Amino acid sequence: MIELYTFTTPNGRKASIMLEETGLPYNTHKIDITKNDQFTPEFIAINPNSKIPAIVDNDAGITVFESGAILIYLAEKTGKFLPTDTKNRIQVIQWLMFQMASVGPMFGQLNHFKRFAPEKIPYAIERYEKETLRLYSVLDKQLENHEYICGDYSIADMAIYPWVAIYEFQGLTLDAHPSLKRWVETVQQRPAVQRGMAVPV
């Protein structure tokens, strides 16, 4: 059994989507980051960096933190959603890293300065909104000739989708990025994605 420690954020939802897609049995532990649950000694023992998500695979005796590492671990454990041949595998991994290095940090900063910062700083909002829209364009171009990010549905899609899916929350639209919009609509129809996006209750 896998223990999932998570919260209702895009990063947290990556792990729950993957668990739902693979069909692995898991228990959910809600780590309410609005109440600083991530800083308790119990959670720090699981993730010393105090970030969600994290998993404990009781069957293997393995703990994994960092959402990208969790996706790779679960893909390798199940043999699903990550190709084994080098050419296709590295394609998926590079788009996973694109999410980790660009989409997550930039979209996250836009969320912070646009929705949560105690002071509205126009420069910061403009900077991160401009970069978010640029990243939309990168994804839109990739998806012009691919049904999913790397052709077949993979952990790259699971990593990127929860971040793009919040575009309305960010006050943005996908109308100028039709391939990206089509992809979002396609991914959100997957039953496992719908279940994963609802975790934790």
Q: What is the pLDDT of residues 142-166, one digit of tens each?
A: 999 999 999 999 999 999 999 999 9
CATH of domain 86-190: 1.20.1050.10
Sequence-ordered list of residues with C-beta below 8 angstroms from that of 154, at least 6 positions apart, any chain: 81, 82, 83, 92, 148
Class of domain 2-81: alpha beta
Query: pLDDT tier at 95 (50, 70, 90 boundaries)?
Result: very high
> Could you tell me the residue ranges of all domains in the chain?
2-81, 86-190
pLDDT digits (tens, 9 = 90+) for 165-185: 999 999 999 999 999 999 999
SS3 of residue 9 by DSSP: coil
**pLDDT tens, position by position, 97-131:** 999 999 999 999 999 999 999 999 999 999 999 99
Cβ(109)–Cβ(128) below 8 Å: yes
Q: What is the pTM of this model?
A: 0.96
Give the pLDDT of residue 199. 97
